[in-house]
Amino acid sequence: MGTAIAVRGLRKSFKDKEVLKGVDLEVKQGEIFALLGSNGAGKTTVVKILTTLLAQDGGSAVINGFDVASKPGQVRQSISLTGQFAAVDEILTGRENLIMIAKLRHLDHPRLVADNMLQRFGLTDAADRKPSTYSGGMRRRLDIALSLVGNPRIIFLDEPTTGLDPEARIEVWKIVKELADRGTTIFLTTQYLEEAEQLADGIAILHEGRIIAGGTLEELKKLFPPAKTEFVEKQPTLEEIFLAIVGQKEEK
């Protein structure tokens, strides 16, 4: 697989606070990549830079072969972003929201595009209702459907299950897996470590503006002390690995 996202030495400060202190990471095409970190670690700042919403102070970021600083237009054509809160128009119906985005992306037959997305995301029966009548899971499905109009090659999901109940979270997980199976590259930020454990092919832990560990779940498990064998061997969860790694860094 080729490289979808390449980040080298990414830096960003807000006034006198340095938020990103030289972030390096790489995401392969078609993989689900999870960026983990506590509140204030800089996850959303990374996403904003990679999606051309914020200029970095230093370092480089390349998306699908295009530099985010020098070629933001080309970057935007191949990506989509779903933030922490559903970005839907409350005045329009579900179908009208999708038609509007299809028109903004200059797609042919916007109504057909909308109908296809409604069917794909199980929203056909709710198509002519306003999102204010939707459940949390339905709103998130519509939000992701809006992000996928035009088939972007990379989708950024910034804490996509924030505020959702467990059933709705599992529903979003299913959608993410299906997207990856279709070849879409997923860049996911989350505070729910179980979410990354269930979904991610690659994981990076961002702590105090730096990537302090990265790899597959199996590779990260090797950084954790060997499992103790009593009656059964207990493998560490990703949450235990995360807390151990962050704790070690804070002690130094």
DSSP H or E segment with residue 250:
helix 238-251
pLDDT of residue 124: 93
Within a 10 A sphere around the Cβ of 79, how many other Cβ atoms?
24
Residue 178 makes CB contacts below 8 A (sequence gap 6+) with none
- Provide the residue-wise pLDDT of the chain in tens; the chain has 252 residues: 689 999 999 999 998 899 999 999 999 999 999 999 888 889 999 999 999 999 999 999 999 999 999 999 999 988 988 876 667 888 899 999 999 999 988 899 999 999 999 998 889 999 999 999 998 788 888 888 888 888 889 999 888 877 777 777 787 888 888 888 888 999 999 877 888 888 899 999 999 999 998 988 888 888 776 656 565 667 788 888 888 888 766 666
Quick one: CA dihedral 14, 15, 18, 24, positive or negative? Answer: positive
Cα atoms in the 13 Å half-sphere on the side-chain side of 5 = 31
Do residues 245 and 205 make contact, with C-beta atoms less than 8 angstroms apart?
yes
Domains located in the chain, CATH noted: 3-247 (3.40.50.300)
pLDDT of residue 96: 95
DSSP string, 80-146: EEE-SS----SSS-HHHHHHHHHHHTT-SSHHHHHHHHHHHTT-GGGTTS-GGGS-HHHHHHHHHHH
pLDDT of residue 77: 87
Cα(57)–Cα(133) distance, rounded to whole angstroms? 42
**C-alpha separations of 237 from 94, 188, 221 in Å:** 39, 19, 8
Give the strands of the sheet with 79-82, arranged side by side.
79-82, 154-158, 185-190, 32-36, 202-207, 210-215
- Rounded (10°) angle between helices 136-148 and 110-120: 140
Cα atoms in the 13 Å half-sphere on the side-chain side of 63 = 28
- Characterize the bridge pairing of strands 185-190 and 202-207: unpaired
- For 208-237, give the secondary structure using H, E and C: CCEEEEEECHHHHHCCCCCCCECCCECCCC
Cα(159)–Cα(190) distance, rounded to whole angstroms? 5
Three-state SS at 58: strand
